[in-house]
Structures are given as C-alpha cells and as structure tokens.
Structure 1
Amino acid sequence: MEGLRVSEFYSGIGGLHCAFETCGTKGKVLHAFDINTAANEVYKHNFPDTTVHQRNLTSFSIANHNAMPADVWLMSPPCQPYTRQGKQMGSKDMRAQSFIHLVDLLGNLDTPPSYLLMENVFGFEKSDTHEVLVAQLTKLNYTYQEFLLTPDQFGIPNSRLRYFLLAKRAPRALLDIGLRSRQSFQALKNALQFTIAPCDVGVIQTTIPGDGECFPSPQHHNYHYTTKADVGTSDESNTTEGGNPAIDVAEQTAEADDKNKTTIAPAKRSCDSPVVRERDPESWKRQKTGSAQCKALSHFLQSSEELAGDRMAPGFIAEKVVVQKGPVWDIVVPTDTRSCCFTKAYSKYHEGTGSVLQTNTEHSYVSAFEPIMEARRISNENKRAQFEESKASSSHTPAETHTQEQSQSQSQSETEPQTSAQSLVDGKEVPPTESDIGTELQTQSKAKIETTEETAADKSPAVAKGIMSEVPREQIDAVMALGLRFLSPREIARLHCFPDTMTFPKSINRNSAYKLLGNSLNVRVVSRLLTYMFDSQKEQ
C-alpha cells in the first residue's frame, strides 16, 4: 500500500478519519476502534472500506498491533475523567483505563507508530494521565508539541476549545519552535493584553506555527494558563460568567489575578434552594460577536429546501419550552459569527449545551425575553421567601416539637371520638374485627381522595403551569415570533467541518445524531494539525 497506514482509536463517527483524508498526506485509515454501537454504525455507513472493531481497548494487545501494524495512531479518548464539570478523577476513573493501557503498550511494541495525534478536552493537560503520557513519549524518544485550539481560529463560527498533542518518533522530529513559539506568544499577549505565566511559554501553543490560516482567538483571553505546579488549589478554576461573548457556558472561564497568579471562582449557589436558575439580565445586553475572521453562521445553515427534505430537521421549539427555558439559551442569528460548543446533551438540556437559532431577525430577542425574565425574577423571589419561611417554621427544638405533639394529641383525644380499629374493653385491648378494619380503610381512602381533589382544586394556574401563567399572552406571542429552533444535525456537522457526504443511516434518529456529534471533534482543526505534523519534517 502506498502511503501511511493509520489506526483510529476511539473513532466515534469518523472525525479523525475525515481529518486525515483532507490533510494532504498519502495514506489510508485501515482500522477503527470504538465501543459505541451507534457510532460504529455511522462509521461503517460512511467508510465501508475501513475495518471497524467494536471492542474495549483495554484488551488491545501486542499481537493485535502486530497483526494490523500502523504508522499513525489517531486517538480521541474519553474526556469525562478530565472535564471541569465532572469529578476530575483522571487516571483513577475507569473510563481512563483503556487510554492508559495504550500508552503503556507503546513501550512494549517492537514497531511503535511513528506519528501520534491525541485530542481531548481543555483540562487534560493538568491531569495525571497527561503526566503518564508525556513521560512515556519522552522515554520512547518521541518529540511532541501541545496545543489549545478552537475552531474560531480557522474562520469557523464555533467555540470548542480542545487540547491536542502531536508526537513523532526518532529519527523524525517536530521542528524546534522554541523561539518562534515565544515570539508567537508575545504577539498574542500584546494583541489580547493579558498575562501568560512565563513557565508556559513554548509549552502549550495557541496557534499552529507557520499556519497562515490559524489566527489568535479572543477565547484564549478567558483562560488562566497554569503548570502542574499551580494546580491543586483550584479545581473549580475556569468557570464561566454567564453570557460571556467570547466563550460558551460549557467552556466555563475564570478571572485571573495577574499579580498573584491565582484563580477567582464565582460564588456557588446553594443547591438545596428551589429557585430556578436565572441569567444576569445585563448579560443579555452584551454585544455577542465572534472573531473578525469568522464566517457568518448563514454559510453553515441549511436552506429552506434542504430543511424540507431532511428527516432530521427540527421544527420550531414548542411554546412552553421557549417560555420556560429560553432565558438560559445562547441565542444566535444567521449573521452572527459565533456559536457555543455543541455537546451530546444538545436539545435535551438547555443551558451550556449549544446555541439556539433565531430565524426571524426582525425582532430583538433581548426585548422579547426581558418581560419573561422579570416574571421569573419575581417568581424566584417568591420561592426564596417561601423556602426561607419553610426552613424557619421547621427549625423547632426537639423539646418544643415533643411538647407540641403532646398538646395536639391531648386536644384531639378530648374533642374527637376514637376512630382507630383498635378498641379498648374494660381497659384491655381487643383485636379489631374485619368489619372494623374495612370501615377504617374506607374512611382513610375517602379522606385521601377528598384531600387530593381539594389540593387539585386549590392549585392556582401558576402552580399548575409554572412560569407560563405568570406571563401575559402578548409577551408569549412576542418570543414565539422570534422563530426559535435548534440547529439541525447537518448544520452542526457543517460547523464541525464534516463534508456533506457524511450522512447518518436511517436507524439513527435526531437525538442520537446530536449525541454523536457532541462527542465528535472539529475536522478542520485536526486536519490543519496533521498537515503541520506531516509537513514539518526534521531528521535528528
């Protein structure tokens, strides 16, 4: 076979495969490995010439590698052990074990791969798994470079900051870009006017050296770059302030104290409060613009004809969902040059899972939602008051509670006839008869039914329908006039730079497609990295 032999680990729906095919290097992806049945089905549908292995990679052995040798390993291991919303267990997380196994296996192979590319979430670079990886690469005479890149650096109006690692095994090596990286970082620092810790200079790149199509991203301004030595006091670092124009809620940020190099995290909201989460109204009024070099979202949206012929095309979002969930959405219009990171929970959960499209641009979503946000604010204040009142009324001492119970019991015994099925005769307890038990059960059942009917009758529309009843009809009509809808799987795939030739088999529905795309990656970003890795040849 002419060209490089490629194995794709954690292959998903084939994002790494698409990236390799477009990077300009001769070769072929021969084998793909993933444990997800739906992902493998999509992969086979689009790449029938590649052998797909559905297996847990903890069982991948030296014999397996020898039977299907590869010059290139492309890897996108599970990100859950390293996400900032997770427990950040790193190598202790069971989902990290297969990747650690592959890293260990590298040291036992007679012919290890010459090239490696690995992708994961921002935060992996601070994990103990990262330490294991770079230690093994150094031991095996690989040179490597690390990157934090996001699609909006390549003209794509989407925020998806990810960690990438490239590695080459001796005698091949990546270019020595120490000086160039320092100059690049200094230029980036001057352009964005923020401080990067000196020890990070030349370690993690925020642009691809020599790539004229890779621009510095304003998104990097929102991150505090630290080394492993700085980590440990701030597991909650990089949490975002709602509505930041340069970053999405899922890619949460923090403010950095440049003087002390510490991270300032926002205060946490009590999780036991019944209050519905609300967005800072001022965040709605901020100008949300993407990078200047990004194309408008309209370049990635389906036409009305395409939507009409797409079985996965979503309709307009239901009225109740718009009113209840709209205030926490990131709403974009076709002329915007930005969108939030799309996760696997898109359309299922509403905050921080991806942007929602406003199709009618004649109206302002800010002015349309402000009355609803005000109604939610009032509702939350009432709920807080009720919650605090409930806590105060239940905070009696045990002695007070016992005294009250005795008083209530005595009062009841003096004023009410005994209704229990257990009766007394001459001071002795007499077992109840079947008739007594039946009568009591009927009484209890009747009381229960009456209480249920009474409760239902007493429920106000606000209790029964929530926020819907608190908003006037004309205000509901105003938000519905925005024409809000979720982006279609095809539109998200385009933002991820998949070609339109990549399709989903009929067995995959829209929600499954959202999950699979949320677990995928940006094809263009990886393609540019592969081009750089294969082109930057340097013999040691």
Structure 2
Amino acid sequence: MEFYSGIGGMHVSLDRAARHTGGSFEVLCAFDINPNANVVYQLNFGLTVNHKSIENFDCDYLDSFGADTWLLSPPCQPYTLQKGAKQKDTEDPRAKSFLHLLKLFPTLKKPPTRILLENVRGFEMSETRKQLLSTMTPSYNYQEFLLSPTQFGLPNSRMRYFFLAKKKPEDFLDPSRNGSVLCFIPCCKYFDSEGRPLEGIKKIECYLEGDDPNLHSYLVPQRLLQKTSRVMDITKKSDSHSCCFTKAYGQYVEGTGSLLQQNLDIDLDSEDSKGTDIIEKLELRFFTPREIANLHGFPADFTFGSLTKKQQYQLLGNSLNCVVVGNLLQYLLQNQDSKI
C-alpha cells in the first residue's frame, strides 16, 4: 500500500526496482488527500487514489488489504530544516495521520513484512522518529539512510531520510548495518565496499528539454531578478549541480531551486561580471516541470495532464527521487513478489 502517494513517485520507483530484480508487484491501494496529485496518479497508473483521511483508519480496515509492503511518505513540514520552519514535530497537526498509523500498528493482525518510509533530513532528529523506532524495534529489523541523488550520478541535491524495515526473522542482505543511519546502500552497484559513490555526476544538459520555442515563457521575471538577485543559485547546462526544488519554485527564487543561465558568454566568476546589472543579461530561466521530473527520475512518458505550471511545480516539490528510492526498494525486496 502507498500512503501519502502524491503523484506516484513510489509507484515509479517500484517499476524501476521490478525491472532490475525480475520481481513483480501489485499495488492494492494508494492513499492521498491532494486532489491534483490524485488526478496525476490516476492518469499515469490507471488506479483511483483513495482520498479517505488516514486519521479515520482502523485496524480492521488496514488488515482487509492484506498488503505485505507499506510505502509511506508522510508530510515533511513538521520536520524540515528549511529557513523559517517551526519544526513542531509531533505537535504539528500534519503529523497526526502518521502518528495515528503508529498507534494502530501494534494491534494489526496482518502487519506488513516490509516497510519503506521517506521524509526530509531532520526527521532523524525528531520525536516522531523516536516513536517510529519504539513501535518497530520489537518485531522488525531496520536500517536508516540519509541519501542524495548526487550519490547516484544525478546533478541535483535533495538529501532525504529513509527508513527500511523487515519483519523478523526476515533480514537485510547486510544485517551488520541494522540499527544504523547509513549514507550509502549496502550491496548496491552505485557504491563501493566502503560506501563511496562510483558514479560520476552527469551534466545538467542531459536533463533539459532542448530548443523548445516555449522555453521563453520560463524566463525569470525582472521583478524577481531585481528583488532577489543576491540569493539566487545559478547553474549552466555544462554544470553538474542544482539545488533542491521546492513546491514554491516558479513563484520565488530564494531557496526554492536553481535557475538556468542561458547566455553563456558571461562569466559570473570574472571581475568584469560583478554587480547586479549583469544579472539581467544572463537570460535566466526556471527549469521546466518536465526537466525537474527528469532530474527526479520520472519516465519520459510521465504526464501531468492539464495542470498548470504552478500546480506541477507544487507537486514535484512534494515528490521524491525515483532513482534513489528504486535502489532502496531493490535492497528491501530482494527479488520478492509483493502485494503493496
């Protein structure tokens, strides 16, 4: 089952894992209360998302699905380390639904045999995480991770926390790592035996849409350039880095994600290019939703239907990286057929 399914990042990740392992899976149900996300999910996977509030679930309802794997991506706002965040943790109303699941968990008659949870960096320091571990430790072997797409060769920084668990006596390929917070995936082709990344980071140009005549509509408005020119992160197509894209991307430029410099005749690092007047000559534009989806590992045929650019940015900002999660699922499932 997919809890907080969003636009289907977990589903795409499952597809990736199944292709690489030869296993198969069946998604029994997906849950989310965001109507735009649910439209996108149904468009791409043909499955109607259940918009019932998780806080209204009881044990009988969860047991009725008989799912052996739970995939969860609870709201991140209670735990985010972003500037201005209140970090209210368990006191944040948006944490209630996940805390409700934890409360129900010990009394389930058919608990899942495998669990994957994704959240922002900061969750690992939360009271919610303490409650998660307290709930799972008696019956599950677990491993925790802090991973970014850059470790998998993708030019995008998006550090996230992951929790993987297997119901005892089932265990991980490398059980010596149980109870640890890891910065690599054991037995994964992207890392050597010491946990060092093996993949070189690709260039931004590999993920761009090319010479689309509609790209002019993504130019950053002058009002935003004048207001926040000193706090923008600027990248070029030849670079191998970009900042994490948030749901406010396209509306603001400070701390929401990188901008793409199109005029490559100007070198921002040279002495002649100092000063705010040079910013307007850079021909800065926003990354398109399709380009962000590419960086997040969504397939080329993934569609947002008729949603506006703003809506697409919001959904992508709340999504996950399918390459990272796909590799975690390979590690979790180990060639097993699953009802999810």
**Residue 516 of structure 1 aligns with which residue?**
315
**Residue 320 of structure 1 aligns with which residue?**
223
Q: Are 1:494 and 2:294 matched, yes or no?
A: yes
**Structure 2 CA distance, aligned partners of 1:369 and 1:327?**
13
**Structure 1 CA distance, aligned partners of 2:191 and 2:325?**
12
Q: Are 1:13 and 2:4 matched, yes or no?
A: no
**Residue 166 of structure 1 aligns with which residue?**
164
Q: Are 1:482 and 2:318 matched, yes or no?
A: no
**Residue 74 of structure 1 aligns with which residue?**
71
Amino acid at match of 1:518: G
**Residue 371 of structure 1 aligns with which residue?**
275
**Structure 2 CA distance, aligned partners of 1:536 and 1:167?**
16
Kindly indicate which of the two structures has a greater share of residues assigned to helix: 1
The alpha-carbon deviation at position 516 of structure 1 amounts to: 0.4
- Per the alignment, in what secondary structure is the counterpart of residue 354 of structure 1? coil
**Structure 2 CA distance, aligned partners of 1:154 and 1:84?**
23
**Structure 2 CA distance, aligned partners of 1:364 and 1:324?**
22
**Structure 1 CA distance, aligned partners of 2:109 and 2:100?**
16
Q: In the superposition, relative to structure 1, how do residues 17 and 497 fare at CA in structure 2: closer, same or farther (>3 Å)?
A: same
Residue 224 of structure 2 contacts residue 253 of structure 2 at CA under 8 Å; is this kept in 1?
Answer: no
Structural mapping, 1:54-65, within 5 Å? 54-65=51-62
**Residue 335 of structure 1 aligns with which residue?**
238
Amino acid at match of 1:205: L
Structural mapping, 1:97-176, within 5 Å? 97-139=96-138, 141-176=139-174
Q: Are 1:344 and 2:338 matched, yes or no?
A: no
* Structure 1 residues 177-235: Cα deviation after superposition (integer angstroms, max 9, x where no partner): 43xx5xxxxxxxxxxxxxxxxxxx971000001112147679xxxxxxxxxxxxxxxxx
The alpha-carbon deviation at position 354 of structure 1 amounts to: 0.2
- Per the alignment, in what secondary structure is the counterpart of residue 530 of structure 1? helix
**Structure 2 CA distance, aligned partners of 1:68 and 1:145?**
26
Amino acid at match of 1:8: E
* Structure 1 residues 18-46: Cα deviation after superposition (integer angstroms, max 9, x where no partner): 00111023112121100111111111111
Amino acid at match of 2:207: F
Q: What is the alpha-carbon root mean square deviation over aligned residues?
A: 2.2
The alpha-carbon deviation at position 292 of structure 1 amounts to: 7.4
**Structure 1 CA distance, aligned partners of 2:308 and 2:326?**
28
**Residue 50 of structure 2 aligns with which residue?**
53
**Structure 2 CA distance, aligned partners of 1:333 and 1:138?**
46
The alpha-carbon deviation at position 360 of structure 1 amounts to: 1.6
**Residue 202 of structure 2 aligns with which residue?**
295
Residue 19 of structure 1 contacts residue 523 of structure 1 at CA under 8 Å; is this kept in 2?
Answer: yes
What TM-score does the superposition give when structure 1 sets the normalisation length? 0.58
The alpha-carbon deviation at position 66 of structure 1 amounts to: 2.9
Structure label with greater radius of gyration: 1
Q: In the superposition, relative to structure 1, how do residues 203 and 106 fare at CA in structure 2: closer, same or farther (>3 Å)?
A: same
The alpha-carbon deviation at position 316 of structure 1 amounts to: 1.9
Structural mapping, 1:237-386, within 5 Å? 293-304=200-211, 307-308=212-213, 314-367=217-270, 370-372=274-276
Residue 143 of structure 2 contacts residue 179 of structure 2 at CA under 8 Å; is this kept in 1?
Answer: no
**Structure 1 CA distance, aligned partners of 2:208 and 2:162?**
28
**Structure 2 CA distance, aligned partners of 1:176 and 1:536?**
15
The higher relative CO (CA closer than 8 Å, separation ≥ 6) is in 2
Residue 327 of structure 1 contacts residue 369 of structure 1 at CA under 8 Å; is this kept in 2?
Answer: no
**Structure 1 CA distance, aligned partners of 2:269 and 2:228?**
14
**Residue 324 of structure 2 aligns with which residue?**
525
**Residue 209 of structure 1 aligns with which residue?**
186
Amino acid at match of 1:300: Y
The alpha-carbon deviation at position 130 of structure 1 amounts to: 0.6
- Per the alignment, in what secondary structure is the counterpart of residue 118 of structure 1? strand
* Structure 1 residues 40-95: Cα deviation after superposition (integer angstroms, max 9, x where no partner): 111111111x2310122111122222332211100000011111232222112111
Alignment gaps of 5+ in structure 1: 1-6, 182-200, 219-290, 373-474
